[in-house]
Structure 1
């Protein structure tokens, strides 16, 4: 979904730390976007469940959390479409 640089295949001599470092370096922006979306979604859902739906059963919270998956893809796909139309 994000614009990641091409990552080379791991070498036999490359350590786990080096592979993680190169992965994070190539996907830094996408990882930050993913983390920001996850934190915002969980915060929003938690606030909704605690205040607006406080009398609801626990499975409502889980359904709201699961709704974050299509919301994530829908948000980033629509963002890419908007960038392409510019």
Structure 2
């Protein structure tokens, strides 16, 4: 299986990942542009996006499994 076949197979999942990442980064940037928060808090919020990503998609999978 080539890379192109893999991308075609996972297209909707990759798009959801991209949308989540862009929304998280834009949201954190807007928040810290408005509040002028400290750099350490900015980086902590960016790292929290990784945890939020896995939490969101894990709970989504669990909800789909219960249906």
Q: Say yes or no: TM over 0.5.
A: yes
1:22-71 Cα deviation digits (max 9, x unpaired): 121121111101000001100111111111x31x2212111110000110
Aligned residues: 67
What is the root-mean-square deviation in Å for CA atoms of aligned residues? 1.2
Kindly indicate which of the two structures has a greater share of residues assigned to helix: 2
Task: Could you tell me which runs of 5 or more consecutive residues in structure 1 were left unpaired when the two chains were aligned.
Answer: 1-7, 9-18
Find the structure with the greater CA-based Rg. 1
Q: What's the offset of the Cα at 1:20?
A: 2.5
Question: What is aligned with 1:21?
Answer: 4
1:1-86 alignment runs, 5 A limit:
8=1, 19-51=2-34, 53-54=35-36, 56-86=37-67
| TM-score of the superposed pair, with normalisation by structure 2 | 0.88
Runs of 4+ in 1 over 2 A off after TM superposition: none
How far apart, CA to CA, are the structure 1 residues paired with 2:22 and 2:55?
17
Task: Could you tell me which runs of 5 or more consecutive residues in structure 2 were left unpaired when the two chains were aligned.
Answer: none
